[in-house]
Amino acid sequence: MKHERTVMALCGIDAVIFGVQDMEAALRFVRDWGLHEKSVMSDQIIFETRDGCEVIVKPVDAPDLPVAIEGGNTVREVVWGAQDQAALDDTLARLGDAVSIGADGLARATDPNGLSLVFRVTHRQPVTGTPTMPNAPGAYHRIDTRGPVITQANPIQIGHIVLFGADFAAMRAFYTERLGFVVSDEYPGHGCFMRCQVKGGHHNLFVLNRPGKAGINHVAFTLNDIHEVVGGGLAMSRKGWKTEIGPGRHPISSAYFWYFENPLTAPLEYYADEDYCTEAWEARVWERRPENFAEWAVAGGIDGETRRQKIGGQDSSRGHKK
């Protein structure tokens, strides 16, 4: 699948706003997750990734939060960033009458799930990752230098969000036709991986079909490499946070992953080394089944103290079973 457009209005996720039941637990988690503190108050917590992407946490009953698309702790708004004012204007023109202006002066629309979307000129600053280069016979990239042992993740950005679509066809059409997202790969009728730039990471958004039941599947934070995924995951395990599944590797996006249960929403993911797509990327059609979610994965995670697989880990398909 080839595309003529190389520049698109949106450049990625700029912030995610969560509504939670336990602000104290949420604060402990975002600190442990490796995010950087901007502001901590009783009614609002703001942390950010290395590139300035914001994680905003408020009490579940905060009056300025939009209506939740599901019960409990969950994502209440997603803020999408545009590269500049012209790009923002292009996005809003695409949405037309669907746009409203909130009390904070920001433009908003809702997707077919009812999830509130905010649009602004991006606050993020470019960050260049520093992955550890591999060595192989005849291809030595790391010379006279040991590979690192990572003891704490330092997330670069919020790379993607995965939504359960109550009306899958309507969700796919909204993001591809109204917002101009590009399809990277697809489970026909069941799931769609989309990116908001023709040239960019494999997906900023993945929508999974769950008829009549909108929700959040997970939110994913980009790290440097597999060393940071494993080192960061071990650190979370040592701090008592429970693995949902991982570490493992996705065959579709090629990324290494580790998912954790948390007091913010459905699982949060550390991931690294996803495919980078351009106009030449060929979108594929896949069958929706667990082996297309994970080439391999560790059930129950790895214990942070023993560095060995935990016993009695639960099965997780991350919603990829029919």
Structural domain spans, the chain: 10-125+151-297
- Alpha helices (runs of H) in 239-305, residue ranges in sequence order: 290-293
% of the chain at pLDDT higher than 70 = 94
The whole-angstrom separation of Cα 314 and Cα 264 is: 21
In this structure, how many other beta carbons lie within 10 angstroms of the beta carbon of residue 305?
9
CA pair distance 252, 187, nearest whole angstrom = 11
The closest alpha carbon to 10, from 234, 151, 194, belongs to 194
Q: What angle do CA 30, 112, 275 make, to 5 degrees?
A: 55
Helix (H, G, I), strand (E, B) or coil at 34: coil
Nearest residue to 191 (alpha-carbon basis) of 160, 169, 222: 169
**pLDDT exceeds 90 at position 4:** no
Q: Give pLDDT, residue 320.
A: 56
> In the beta sheet, which residues pair with residue 220?
160, 269
> Which residue from 98, 64, 94 is spatially nearest to 180, judged by alpha carbons?
94
The pLDDT tens digits for 124-180 are 999 999 999 999 999 999 999 999 999 999 999 999 999 999 999 999 999 999 999
Cβ–Cβ < 8 Å for 62, 206: no
pLDDT over threshold 70, residue 78: yes
Identify the CA nearest to 275 among candidates 215, 193, 208.
Answer: 193
In 10 A of CB 59, how many CB atoms? 16
Residue 235's H or E segment, with its range, is helix 226-238
| CATH class of domain segment(s) 10-125+151-297 | alpha beta
Task: Select from 306, 295, 124 the least CA-distant residue to 226.
Answer: 295
Please indicate, yes or no, whether the overall pTM of this predicted structure exceeds 0.75: yes
